Structure 1
């Protein structure tokens, strides 16, 4: 049966020009910023295109309509498919060709699995944030933040494993410390006020701290390997710096709400800061995956020096 559509009064605005009305299912309506519930009010510069007051069935149905969440949803849904495909390719081609050990298979699987979980948690939140129940919406928000923590976990596990590949003691120290920090973040999310607007800045500080913690083992790793002049440092350190640079740029877009801050109402559907954040997150995780594969191949081509085994 052909789905009946309603020609809504919502237009796409790009560059100050109005384009054709958005075609949405008759049982789904798009709202303005003033019309949505308070718990959805996060960015006043996105003035239109909101889904709200929907049951779960219609939240799923809204996956196929154009709203201000469409790019957010599909960017990470496609990101999930990307990391799933990379996982299959690594298992059947990249790792066997590199002579990978069982540990290599486990680390690469954990890394990509964490990235996939992050993508799916993000998709779930942006798909179901419009649920008519604030409690349900908050639960999906908690899963979204948990997904970010899991992605950070994937980066740390793979990075620490190969950075301290020849230093078993420090590898265990940093892995345990990192796991403790991630668990602390999970427990913080249980608190009822953690996901409120009042704690928005606190959440940003916590995630910046957890992400920035990686600088400590990185500096230590550089020292253990003889400083910035060492060949492995010159091979791998720039890749770590690029990852942090991408993460910093993405976070600046996220907190500044640029460019829609300067073009309120004109970037409701395409080009907003959160969409840029989503795309850069996929780019950053893809870059890290490629870096992990690179350092894994490097470790197999050059054995550990005897003096560094228990440093």
Structure 2
């Protein structure tokens, strides 16, 4: 490594791996678990690579640099930043290609817009928290954490809005649909059971096509949540997964995959609904 670059590099130990050079801007250093404030101590199995004690000005001035610092937040930041650009790109593609080809109605455009907007908000809230959780103020940290949780709730809502809309696409029960929209973010499983029963059970083609996709999404969400709360795999490899492969990073990647899977499911069910008119389905 050139001598000039060595002066700006800070060597840190990645578990039992070799020492890697990590470029750290002046005024920013990485801390161990023992050195960080108590409000950042959420996972004792991540032993190194923490950003901490930064004032507001440093957080705001150097947030762009923080994107390129190798810390234990790097994967968390980039996974959802790239996720945001993924769903933004899908939004453009859907509006210009997918929906016009499906002869979509105005309602379809609104539903897709809501869904993808919710996904993008979820991604950005997460990026914001993982960028600025290094603030020295516990109050500021908790505010960003609350925004992150709000983003998760909005992302979940983005999953359920198209699901309820297309599940009850052929029903004229507008009051029931409105009621379900209000409750579905909390009780998402109830509309699924009701929809299966209303469509004649598991033997009907639409149920057989759609329900497996629903359960795949729930499975990915369950795996992500299980890893998140159990802190697996770093629980079994303390200090080995500080920078890559931790449970929170797996959670991030699975959330992006879950949202993408649900978007593709939305495209599938949209095309199905427009290719199978409601009158035809009611007569079968």
Whether 1:172 and 2:175 are equivalent positions in the alignment is: no
**2:126 maps to which residue?**
122
**1:83 maps to which residue?**
87
Segments of structure 2 that go 5 or more residues without pairing to the other structure are none
State the Cα distance separating 1:25 from its structure 2 match. Answer: 1.5
**1:8 maps to which residue?**
10
Note if contact 2:33-2:44 (Cα within 8 Å) is conserved in structure 1: yes
Judged with a 3 Å threshold, the aligned counterparts in structure 2 of structure 1 residues 112 and 269 are, in CA distance, closer, same or farther, namely: same
**2:237 maps to which residue?**
263
**2:157 maps to which residue?**
153
**2:108 maps to which residue?**
104
In the alignment, the residues of structure 1 paired with residue 234 and residue 228 of structure 2 have an alpha-carbon distance, to the nearest angstrom, of 11
Matches within 5 A, 1:22-37: 22-37=22-37
Note if contact 2:228-2:248 (Cα within 8 Å) is conserved in structure 1: yes
Provide Cα deviations, 1:185-228, integer angstroms capped at 9, x if missing partner: xxxxxxxxxxxxxxxxxxxxxxxxx3xx2111101000000000
Note if contact 2:45-2:238 (Cα within 8 Å) is conserved in structure 1: yes
**1:131 maps to which residue?**
135
State the Cα distance separating 1:6 from its structure 2 match. Answer: 3.2
Judged with a 3 Å threshold, the aligned counterparts in structure 2 of structure 1 residues 230 and 279 are, in CA distance, closer, same or farther, namely: same
Whether 1:278 and 2:225 are equivalent positions in the alignment is: no
In the alignment, the residues of structure 1 paired with residue 6 and residue 142 of structure 2 have an alpha-carbon distance, to the nearest angstrom, of 31
In the alignment, the residues of structure 1 paired with residue 169 and residue 161 of structure 2 have an alpha-carbon distance, to the nearest angstrom, of 12
In the alignment, the residues of structure 2 paired with residue 26 and residue 291 of structure 1 have an alpha-carbon distance, to the nearest angstrom, of 46
Aligned length: 274
**2:52 maps to which residue?**
52
Note if contact 1:254-1:274 (Cα within 8 Å) is conserved in structure 2: yes
Segments of structure 1 that go 5 or more residues without pairing to the other structure are 183-209
Report SS of the residue matched to 2:278: coil
Note if contact 2:123-2:151 (Cα within 8 Å) is conserved in structure 1: yes
State the Cα distance separating 1:268 from its structure 2 match. Answer: 0.3
State the Cα distance separating 1:98 from its structure 2 match. Answer: 0.3
Note if contact 1:77-1:119 (Cα within 8 Å) is conserved in structure 2: yes
State the Cα distance separating 1:59 from its structure 2 match. Answer: 4.3
Report SS of the residue matched to 1:8: strand
Higher alpha-carbon deviation: 96-105 or 213-222: 213-222
Structure 2-normalised TM-score?
Answer: 0.92
Structure 1-normalised TM-score?
Answer: 0.84
Judged with a 3 Å threshold, the aligned counterparts in structure 2 of structure 1 residues 65 and 231 are, in CA distance, closer, same or farther, namely: same
Note if contact 1:59-1:130 (Cα within 8 Å) is conserved in structure 2: no
Choose which of 175, 178, 197 in structure 2 pairs with 1:223.
197
Report SS of the residue matched to 1:33: coil
Judged with a 3 Å threshold, the aligned counterparts in structure 2 of structure 1 residues 5 and 217 are, in CA distance, closer, same or farther, namely: farther
